[in-house]
Amino acid sequence: MGRAKVTLPTEDVVRARAEALDAALEAGGDQLDPATVAVARQIIAKVGERSALAGKHTVIALAGATGSGKSSLFNALAGRELARVGATRPTTSSPSAAVWGDDPAGELLDWLAVPRRYGVSAAPSEEGLGESVDSVGSLDGLVLLDLPDFDSRVMSHRAEAERVLALCDVFVWVTDPQKYADALLHDEYVQQLTGHSAVMVAVLNQTDRLAGRAVEACREDLVRLLRADGVSGVQVLTTSVATGEGIPELRQRLANAVAGHEAARQRLSADLTAVAGRLRRGVADREVTLDAGADDQLVDALSRASGVPVVLGAVDEDYRREALGRTGWIFTRWGRKLRPDPLRRLRLDRVPSQVLEQVDPLDVREVVGRSSIPAPSASARSAVKLAALSLTERAAEGLPVLWAEAVSDAAAPTDDRLYERLDRIVVTTPLRGNPPVWWQVTGWLQWLFGLMTVVGLAWLVALAVVAWLQLPPIDTPKVGPFPLPTLLLVAGLLVGLLAAGLARAAARVGARRRRTLVGKRLRIAIADVADDQLVQPVRGVLDRHRDTREQLEAARGG
Distance of CA 168 to the CA centre of its chain: 34
CA angle in degrees (0–180, nearest 5) for 410-414-416: 120
Smallest Cα–Cα separation from 104: which of 57, 137, 136, 172?
57
Edge-to-edge order in the sheet of strand 235-238? 116-120, 96-100, 142-146, 58-64, 170-175, 200-204, 235-238
Which stretches of 429-483 are DSSP H helices?
A: 437-468
- d(Cα 90, Cα 155) in Å, to the nearest integer? 12
Give residue 558's pLDDT.
65
Give residue 157's pLDDT.
87
- d(Cα 75, Cα 83) in Å, to the nearest integer? 6
Which stretches of 166-213 are DSSP H helices?
A: 183
Contact 167, 288 (CB under 8 A): no
Query: What is the identity of the amino acid at 324?
Result: L
Ramachandran assignment for 482, one of left (phi > 0), alpha (psi -120 to 50 degrees), beta (any other): beta
The DSSP secondary-structure symbol of 396 reads: T
Give residue 451's pLDDT.
93
Domain with CATH 3.40.50.300 in the chain: 55-260
- The CA–CA distances, whole Å, from 284 to 36, 374, 540 equal 17, 43, 16
Which stretches of 128-262 are DSSP H helices?
A: 155-165, 183, 214-228, 247-259
The DSSP secondary-structure symbol of 11 reads: H
Helix 263-280 crosses helix 536-556 at what angle (to 10 degrees)? Answer: 150
- d(Cα 75, Cα 92) in Å, to the nearest integer? 13
- d(Cα 396, Cα 131) in Å, to the nearest integer? 64
Number of residues that this document lists for the chain: 558
Helix 11-28 crosses helix 34-52 at what angle (to 10 degrees)? Answer: 150
**Residues in the chain, pLDDT under 70:** 1-7, 54, 83-93, 122-137, 337, 349-371, 413-416, 558
- d(Cα 38, Cα 20) in Å, to the nearest integer? 16
- d(Cα 438, Cα 247) in Å, to the nearest integer? 108
The DSSP secondary-structure symbol of 471 reads: P
Give residue 406's pLDDT.
93
Which stretches of 204-307 are DSSP H helices?
A: 214-228, 247-259, 263-280, 296-305
Contact 128, 76 (CB under 8 A): yes
CA dihedral (102, 106, 109, 115) in degrees, to 10, reads: 110
Give residue 142's pLDDT.
93
Give me the CATH topology for the region 55-260. Rossmann fold (3.40.50)
Give residue 247's pLDDT.
92
**Cα first-last separation, the chain:** 24
Smallest Cα–Cα separation from 64: which of 8, 148, 3, 124?
148
Per-residue model confidence as pLDDT tens digits over 141-170: 899 999 988 888 888 888 888 899 999 999
Give residue 337's pLDDT.
67
**Pairing state between β 96-100 and 478-479:** unpaired
Smallest Cα–Cα separation from 29: which of 268, 274, 271, 283?
283
Longest dimension (CA), the chain: 161
